[in-house]
A and B are shown apart, each in its own frame.
Chain A
Amino acid sequence: MARPIYQTESGARVFGILAQFENTLTLSNAAKVVRDAGFKKWDTHSPFPVHEMEHAMGIAGTAVRPLAYAMGMGALTGAVGGYLMQWWINKDYFIVVQGKPTDAAWESFIPVTFELGILLTAFAAIFGMLAFNGLPRHHHPLFTSERFLSTSDDAFFISVEAKDEKFDPESTRKMLEDAGATHIELVEDG
């Protein structure tokens, strides 16, 4: 079944509904309501990470698993690549020093192996976090809402996208109102 495309009276497409909540408790309770209603394309917005929000949103574990694999790959690539680089360079241009044998003196390669393992894990952690979050993305329909800008200060929001299969302008609004929203507005797909 094709999803209906919602439009405002002016003809602009609807991005979704933005609901404001008073504090972290009502936000977290409302997140549980939205989660249990079976929504998929929705999000919470808070000025800081709220304790156990991943459980209230039902994303615990699954959302970070690919990131964990990426970091593991980073660590392996850095350490193995770092070791092989030193091993090959040592073979290619052998410097007779410290009376060490050509092929069996692996101990002195450990510090650089360790450092490169750390370096690539850190790259995987930060760039992986950004990539899985879909960032950088400098434009987003939510930024058209002036009220939304205060989420970086002290306001708490839930946004539900119109693309979600369960989305309905009336019933979704009602659900958020019942969950304790203090303000609800429609966001255009700007």
Chain B
Amino acid sequence: MSVINPDQIDAQRLAGMRPAADRGDIDPALGDGSLVDDPALRPPLVLNGRDFHDVTEIVCGYSEKAPPWWWFHALGAAATVAGLAQIMILYLIITGVGVWGLNNQVDWAWDITNFVFWIGIGHAGTLISAILCLLKQEWRTAVNRSAEAMTIFAVTCAGIFPGIHVGRVWFAWMLFPIPNYNWIWPNFRSPLLWDVFAVSTYATVSTLFWYMGLIPDFATLRDRAHRRLRLGESQNMKLRVPLPVPIPAISLPIKGDILRAYIYGFLALGWRFSGRHWYRYEKAYLILAGISTPLVLSVHSIVSFDFATSILPGWHTTIFPPYFVAGAVFGGFAMVLLLLIPLRELLPNMKDLLTLRHLELMAKILLVTGMMVGFAYGMEFFIAWYGANQFEWYAFIGNRANPETAPYWWAYYTMIFCNVVTPQLFWVKKFRQNPIIIWIVALCVTIGMWFERFVIIVTSLHRAFLPGEWHMFYPTPVDILTFVGSFGIFFTLFLLFIRFMPIFPMAELKAVMPGASPHDHEHHHDDEHDDPHGDHGGDSHGEPTKQGAH
């Protein structure tokens, strides 16, 4: 057992939980028990015999118990870096966009690179919640909440860059068709304006989708706080002083559960888990998934129109929309893995809900989308050659691929290595089942996807048609610190999320567990006495089950 769940003792102490049921020996080929290869077997989505109550305890425990020690340090570091971004943005606004390394030739550089990078990362959440929902991929329930949260935070970071890039930020409201005294309107034939609508629609719909999933889980947190208040189990809030000398925690004159009951209660909108409500809720969720699927595909297509509808060699290609969407999914999944693999180690009992199989499936998605991106890279060269346009051919060979003529050749090969070569490791089963290797590949992909956008934007711009206009781009410290700072904003938001919100969709997770469907109980009356818990007569929780039995 210790191999399977090394954090178990710690976890139970932290979460105050009863121990997991002993499942006996697990075949080592199954990893933690979830890596079932036989298509006739249904691999478990929740391990260690956790039942509905355990799921509630584990997930609510993350926001109800005192946060782990590393959380404060991580939040402190992330918030400091986020503050750096804010100082840089303030400096930019009071000085002008000249503080960046932009010049007359390269007038889009790190700002738009960062925008496309972050908006791309923001595609995984809605992909998981919408497309995988339509495809009935039940494993998505373990990752969709945190992926959706990540989506919203990434879109937040993305929104900053075009906003501050416009120069006179106080006129940014003119991007929207708002009646004004000068009676001028935006140009609806510009892809840049389509972008405004696509990104703001995407941010709004993703947030609503996320919030809708959160309603029942906020209600669970509300009910638990109410129950503790009624039973008199609630404690006053304590202010811990983070000093090396032991100082007793200061007791505040308010109970934490009162705040929880009010705040979670307000957000839960009075959800009472009614069957009539669930019916409309599920239908609305399905329709939202149905409309979010074309939405998520349209957003990055429209982002790619910013480039594809121009006549600049290297940008003017019809492959851009599908190529950008595949790249966005690729980069988004990499970021999900980058966040969840360490979290899985750090948070107690998380490995029971997020199994090795989840990671393996996401690694497979990385492989597939990485191959799509690799195909697009190759196809760009083919069309440049086949199209016989000398400017386009020069944009790809002379500006990107040939180290003797292209000053940014290293960026191009970093991109190829990170995005095309490293995911090929996942052809090997051992590698795609190893969290450390998946994490390293995900890190490479994140770096590679940033370079992809840099290559597309800067190498195309720095040498356009007239050699007399050619100009290199060099980032200034403000460029670099703003980009680093955007990671601070992202991680600050994510750390606050894992502390205060249910990071797994409890209701959705319970609905795909054994014992959730009425049919689970119809065939298992005979072996009910074998059940170690004797609860709900559910079949062997956490074990691979025969698909035919359901």
- Assess the A138–B270 pair: CB atoms within 8 A: yes
A51 to B266 CA separation, bound complex (whole angstroms): 28
Residues of the A chain whose Cβ atoms lie less than 8 Å from the Cβ of B236: none
| B485 at the binding interface (Cβ < 8 Å) | no
Question: Could you tell me if B219 and A152 are in contact, using CB atoms closer than 8 angstroms?
Answer: yes
Query: How many B residues have CB within 8 A of the partner chain?
Result: 77
Beta-carbon contact of A112 and B194 below 8 Å: yes
Q: Is A130 an interface position by the 8 A CB rule?
A: yes
| Least CB distance, A96 to chain B, in whole angstroms | 10
Contact digits for A133-162, partner B, Cβ 8 Å, 1 yes 0 no: 101111110110010011111100000000
Measured CB to CB, the closest approach of chain B to A41, in angstroms, equals 11
* Bound CA span A115–B303, Å: 13
Q: Are A63 and B189 touching (Cβ within 8 A)?
A: no
User: Cβ of A47 < 8 Å from any Cβ of B?
Assistant: yes
Question: Is A49 in contact with B278, judged by CB distance below 8 angstroms?
Answer: yes
Residue among A47, A97, A139 with the highest chain B CB neighbour number at 10 A: A47
User: Mask for B325-340, Cβ within 8 A of A = 1, else 0?
Assistant: 0000000000000000
Q: Which residues A96-140 have CB closer than 8 A to chain B?
A: 97-98, 100, 105, 108-109, 111-112, 114-116, 118-119, 121-123, 125-126, 128-130, 132-133, 135-140
Contact present for A48 and B188 (CB under 8 Å): no
Distance to closest chain A CB from B523 (angstroms): 10
* Chain B residue contacts of A37, Cβ below 8 A: none
Q: Are B278 and A149 in contact (CB under 8 A)?
A: no
Task: Assess the B201–A90 pair: CB atoms within 8 A.
Answer: no
Question: Shortest distance in angstroms between B140's beta carbon and chain A's nearest beta carbon?
Answer: 15
A67 & B507 in contact (Cβ 8 Å cutoff): no
Residue A25, interface by CB 8 Å: yes
Knowing A89-B188, A125-B287 are in contact, say whether A47-B279 is a contact too (CB < 8 A).
no
The docked-state distance in angstroms from the alpha carbon of A53 to that of B255 is: 39
Q: Does B193 touch A at the CB level, under 8 Å? A: yes
User: Chain B 196-211, CB within 8 Å of chain A: the 1/0 string?
Assistant: 0110010011001101
Q: How far is the CA of A113 from the CA of B510 in the complex (A)?
A: 38
Judged by a CB distance under 8 angstroms, whether A43 is at the interface is yes
B291 contact set on A, CB distance < 8 A: 118, 121-122, 125
Assess whether B280 is in contact with A67, with CB atoms less than 8 Å apart: yes
Could you tell me the distance in whole angstroms from the C-beta of A182 to the nearest C-beta in chain B? 12
- The answer to whether A9 has its CB under 8 Å from any CB of chain B is no
Question: For A46, what are the chain B residues with a Cβ–Cβ distance below 8 Å?
Answer: 273, 275, 278
Interface of A is mostly: helix
Report if A12 contacts B (CB, 8 A).
Answer: no
Cα A23 to Cα B536 in complex, Å, equals 6
Minimum CB–CB distance from B207 to chain A (whole Å) comes to 10
Closest B residue, CB atoms, query A133: B277
Q: Determine how close the nearest CB of chain A comes to the CB of B547; give it in whole angstroms.
A: 16
B470 near A: Cβ within 8 Å? no
Q: Which residues of B contact A139 (CB under 8 A)?
A: 270
Q: Within the complex, what minimum Cβ distance (angstroms) separates B131 from chain A?
A: 15
B274 touches A43 (CB 8 A): yes
Contact yes or no, B283 A48, CB < 8 A: no
B546 on the A face (CB < 8 A)? no
Q: Knowing A118-B201, A129-B280 are in contact, say whether A48-B510 is a contact too (CB < 8 A).
A: yes
| Residue ID in chain A nearest B183 by CB atoms | A93
Contact B521 A111 (CB under 8 A): no
Q: Mark B279-297, 1 if CB is under 8 A from A, else 0.
A: 1111110011001101100
A52 within 8 A of B: yes
In the assembled complex, how far is the CB of residue A39 from the closest CB belonging to chain B, in whole angstroms? 13
Known: A138-B269, A146-B227, A153-B53. A132 touches B220 (CB 8 A): no
Cβ of B204 and Cβ of A122 under 8 Å apart? Answer: yes
The answer to whether A23 touches B521 (Cβ under 8 A) is yes
Nearest-neighbour CB distance to chain A for B67, whole angstroms, equals: 22
- Residues in A with CB closer than 8 Å to B198 are 111, 115
| Contact yes or no, A154 B220, CB < 8 A | no
Which of A49, A122, A146 lies in contact with B230, CB distance below 8 A? A146
User: What is the bound-complex CA distance between A154 and B287, given in angstroms?
Assistant: 27
Min Cβ gap A133→B in Å is: 5
Q: Is the CB of A121 within 8 A of B287?
A: yes
Expressed in whole angstroms, the minimum distance between the Cβ of B134 and any Cβ of chain A is: 15
Do A24 and B516 touch (CB < 8 A)? yes
Q: Tell yes or no: A28 within 8 A of B by CB.
A: yes
A50 interfacial contact with B, CB 8 Å: yes
Q: How far is the CA of A135 from the CA of B220 in the complex (A)?
A: 16
Identity of the chain B residue whose Cβ is nearest the Cβ of A29 in the assembled complex: B518
The answer to whether the Cβ of B316 comes within 8 Å of any Cβ in the partner chain is: no
The answer to whether B271 has its CB under 8 Å from any CB of chain A is yes
Evaluate contact between A25 and B188: CB separation under 8 angstroms: no
- Given that A23-B536, A111-B194 are contacting pairs, would A43 and B276 also be in contact in the complex, using a CB cutoff of 8 Å? yes
A153 touching B220, Cβ below 8 Å: yes
- Report chain A residues within 8 Å CB of B273: 45-47, 151-152
Q: How many Å from the CB of A26 to the closest CB on chain B? A: 8
Asked if B507 and A93 sit within 8 Å, CB to CB, the answer is no
User: Quick check: B287 and A116 within 8 Å, CB to CB?
Assistant: no
Contact of A50 with B270 in the complex, beta carbons under 8 Å: no
Report chain A residues within 8 Å CB of B185: 89, 92-93
How many Å lie between the Cα of A115 and that of B507 in the bound state? 30
Collect the chain B residues with CB atoms within 8 Å of residue A137's CB: 269-270
Q: Is B298 on the interface with A (CB-CB < 8 A)?
A: yes
Candidates B201, B274, B294, B516; contact of A45 at CB < 8 Å: B274
Whether A126 lies near B284 (C-beta < 8 A) is yes
Encoded as 1 (CB less than 8 Å from any A CB) or 0, chain B from 210 to 240 comes to: 0110001001101110110010000000000
Please tell me if B7 contacts chain A, counting CB pairs below 8 Å: no
- Chain B contacts of A60 at CB under 8 A? 279
A176 within 8 A of B: no
Given A24-B516, A93-B185, A154–B269 Cβ distance below 8 Å?
no
Report Cα–Cα, A33/B524, bound state, in Å: 22
> Is B519 interfacial (CB 8 A cutoff)?
yes
A77 lies within 8 A of chain B by Cβ: no
The digit string for A56-72, where 1 denotes a CB below 8 A from any CB of B, is 01011001100110010
The answer, among A108, A119, A130, A136, for a CB contact under 8 Å with B188, is: A108
Contacts A23-B515, A111-B194, A125-B288 hold; do A138 and B266 have CB atoms under 8 A apart?
Answer: yes
Determine the chain B residues whose CB is within 8 A of the CB of A67 once the complex forms: 280, 283-284
Q: A57-B276, A122-B288 are in contact. List 6 more A-B contacts (CB 8 A).
A: A24-B516, A49-B281, A90-B189, A111-B191, A128-B284, A153-B52
Q: List 9 A-B contacts (CB under 8 A).
A: A46-B275, A47-B273, A47-B506, A68-B287, A108-B188, A112-B197, A126-B211, A129-B280, A149-B227
> Top 8 A-B pairs ranked by shortest CB distance?
A44-B275, A154-B52, A25-B521, A136-B269, A48-B511, A129-B284, A49-B278, A152-B220
